[in-house]
Every structure is written in structure tokens, then in C-alpha cells.
């Protein structure tokens, strides 16, 4: 008879967040499949547990997945863990769960730490309806396509981001969603230097242009206001004023005009031309 796959969430910073059931599951499993066995070994040492470990990560998952499946089909129980948080959520494991489902192997998910949900709950953004967008691509074109597809999204959006990519991502977000869009940057959750900064995309861009981001981040961004179509009723002058504000926040005129033209009936070049008129007016001291 087939064994079982357990999905075991592990702490995202505070080791005290391992649950009793997660611990018991690790203890009773025949073996543990871990994203990085060195990281999991530290957790096992902390829990004073000894267990056979096999590695299961992004680049060996198709080959290792088969082997894990064979062992479960032979009757063993496997506990799957990632480096931190819930396995299968922007982590290896999604494929293994699908393979188990296809092979009729029972899967049991133990509830526990997840950076996305921890961030959402503390973000002070609306939590009634939300969508999880995971990591954006490192390639500029696909990152922009992903963000463009969310222009009209009214639900709260959750993103994972690495610190070295944060500024580029925030800049792209500000161009797509506008500098005024509220965002909560949730940093180092459950750790000593946990910080929740509730701000706007424009202010976040300005801040991280001057300060290097450190630590792990979840970005929780407000959805588009329900009456966003109000943008369609803006005058060209109002759209250009919006672009002018963006240039004041450090955006180049082309990017500002493009962002300000979104949702309005005007092209970016129309807004750009009007922006130049406003800038000339400013220089002339109007
Ligand atoms: N499966 C994990 C989960 O459910 O929490 C997420 C794994 S994903 C590979 C790692 C990303 O989660 C990080 O880049 C960061 O965006 C986020 N993250 C993990 N731990 C975090 C923490 N303590 N504070 C803020 N973000 C965190």
C-alpha cells in the first residue's frame, strides 16, 4: 500500500514558529525531502531530531521526484520541507504534489508559516479579496508584461521579491500603477528587525534610490480603486499634472508621461508634449 506525502511548513525566521504537529510529522516520517539539506539539518538539530534527508530542489526535481514517488509507492512516508515557509508556494513541491495526485498518492498539508499570508495579515491593506503573484521575472520585458496584466486588478496583490531586484520592481510598478498607489513593504517578517512600511510606490522608489534594501521582502500592494475608470474622464492638463508630479519623484519625463497616460484617452506623446509645456511654464516662473 502507498505511503503518504506530508507538506511540512517551517519557520520563516522565528524558530519558535514550528508547530507541534509539524515537529511530530518530521519525527514520524520515514525520510525528509528538503530544498537545501544543510538548511534543514540546522532545523533538525534545533529540534533534536535525526532523519534521513534527500535533496529536492528546482534543478533536480524531475529526476528526484520520480525517486521520491517510488519510495512513497513502496509504502514510505515522506515529509517535504523547503528552506522556509510553506512548501509548494513559490518553492519546489508544486510538481511533487501534482505527481502524487496523478499517481493516487495521498498528500497531507500541515498548516503553518507562509510569508505571503503573514505579510498580508499585517499589511493594513484590504484582505477580503487578494491574489498572490509570487516572484516577478528578472527579465524586464516579462516583468512588465506581468505587471501590465494586473493594471485593472482590484484585489490586493502580494509579491515576493529579492532585495537586489527590489528597486527595479518598484520602479516598474510605479510606472504601471502610478506613484500614488499604496503599498506595504513587509521586511524580515518574524525576525528581530521585522519592519512593515506602509507607503506609496513613489515614496518607496525614492527611498530605495538612496538606501540599499536589506533582508527579505513581501510586497503587498493595494488593488486599483473601484472607480479607476475615472481616469478616462481626466483632461489632458490633469494627466500632464500627474506626469509632472512623477518627475518630481524622480521619474524621467518619458516614463512619467507613459505612466500618467495610462487609463486616460491620451497617448503618452500627447501627455509628454503637455508635460513639456508645464515644465516650461514652471521654468518661466508661472
Ligand atoms: N514558500 C515560502 C513561504 O510560503 O513563505 C516562500 C519561499 S520563496 C522561495 C522566498 C521568498 O519569500 C523571499 O524572497 C521573500 O519574498 C519571502 N520571504 C520569506 N521569508 C520572509 C521573511 N521572513 N520576511 C519577508 N519575506 C520573506
* pLDDT at residue number 1: 65
Which tens digits make up the pLDDT trace of 25-57?
999 999 999 999 999 999 999 999 999 999 999
* pLDDT at residue number 234: 80
Distance between CA atoms of residues 256 and 174, nearest Å? 9
Distance 84 CA to ligand 1 centre (A): 7
Of 7, 8, 10, 12, best ligand 1 pocket probe by most atoms within 8 Å of the beta carbon? 12
Angle between helices 253-261 and 166-177 (to 10 degrees): 50
Of 133, 160, 56, whose CA–CA distance to 100 is shortest?
Answer: 56
Rg (CA), the chain: 23
Of the candidate ranges 28-37, 38-47, 261-270, 272-281, the one whose mean pLDDT is the lowest: 261-270
Distance 230 CA to ligand 1 centre (A): 36
Of 10, 218, 219, best ligand 1 pocket probe by most atoms within 8 Å of the beta carbon? 218
* pLDDT at residue number 61: 84
Distance 86 CA to ligand 1 centre (A): 9
Single pTM value for the model: 0.82
Whether 15 has a pLDDT exceeding 70, the answer reads yes
Distance 161 CA to ligand 1 centre (A): 8
Q: Which residues line ligand 1 (CB under 6 A)?
A: 12-13, 82, 84-86, 89-91, 114-116, 160-162, 186, 188-191, 216-218
* pLDDT at residue number 249: 65
Q: Are 4 and 99 in contact (CB under 8 A)?
A: no
Whether 228 has a pLDDT exceeding 60, the answer reads no
> How does residue 182 score in pLDDT terms, banded at 50, 70 and 90?
very high
pLDDT, the chain, mean: 93
Distance between CA atoms of residues 56 and 90, nearest Å? 14
Task: Taking residues 124-138, report their average pLDDT.
Answer: 96
Amino acid at each position: 500500500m502507498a505511503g503518504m506525502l506530508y507538506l511540512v511548513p517551517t519557520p520563516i525566521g522565528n524558530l519558535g514558529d514550528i508547530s507541534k504537529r509539524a515537529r511530530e510529522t518530521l519525527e514520524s516520517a520515514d525520510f525528509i525531502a528538503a530544498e537545501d539539506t544543510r538548511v534543514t539539518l540546522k532545523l533538525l538539530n534545533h529540534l533534536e531530531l535525526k532523519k534521513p534527508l534527500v535533496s529536492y530542489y528546482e534543478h533536480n526535481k524531475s529526476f528526484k521526484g520520480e525517486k521520491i514517488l517510488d519510495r512513497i509507492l513502496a509504502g514510505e512516508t515522506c515529509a517535504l520541507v523547503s528552506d522556509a515557509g510553506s512548501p509548494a508556494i513559490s518553492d519546489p513541491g508544486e510538481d511533487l504534489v501534482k505527481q502524487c495526485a496523478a499517481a493516487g498518492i495521498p498528500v497531507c498539508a500541515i498548516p503553518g508559516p507562509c510569508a505571503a499570508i503573514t505579510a498580508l495579515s499585517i499589511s493594513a491593506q484590504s484582505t477580503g479579496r487578494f491574489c498572490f503573484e509570487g516572484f516577478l521575472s528578472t527579465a524586464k520585458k516579462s516583468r512588465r508584461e506581468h505587471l501590465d496584466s494586473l493594471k485593472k486588478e482590484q484585489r490586493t496583490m502580494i509579491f515576493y521579491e529579492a532585495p537586489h531586484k527590489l528597486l527595479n520592481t518598484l520602479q516598474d510598478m510605479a510606472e504601471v500603477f502610478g506613484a500614488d498607489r499604496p503599498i506595504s513593504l513587509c521586511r524580515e517578517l518574524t525576525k528581530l528587525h521585522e519592519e512593515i512600511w506602509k507607503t506609496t510606490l513613489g515614496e518607496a522608489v525614492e527611498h530605495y534610490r538612496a538606501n540599499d534594501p536589506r533582508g527579505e521582502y513581501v510586497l503587498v500592494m493595494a488593488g486599483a480603486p473601484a472607480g479607476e475608470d475615472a481616469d478616462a474622464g481626466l483632461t489632458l492638463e490633469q494627466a500632464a499634472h500627474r506626469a509632472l508630479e512623477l518627475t518630481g519623484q524622480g521619474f524621467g519625463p518619458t516614463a512619467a508621461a507613459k505612466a500618467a497616460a495610462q487609463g486616460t484617452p491620451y497617448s503618452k506623446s500627447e501627455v509628454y508634449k503637455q508635460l513639456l509645456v508645464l515644465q516650461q511654464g514652471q521654468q518661466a516662473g508661472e
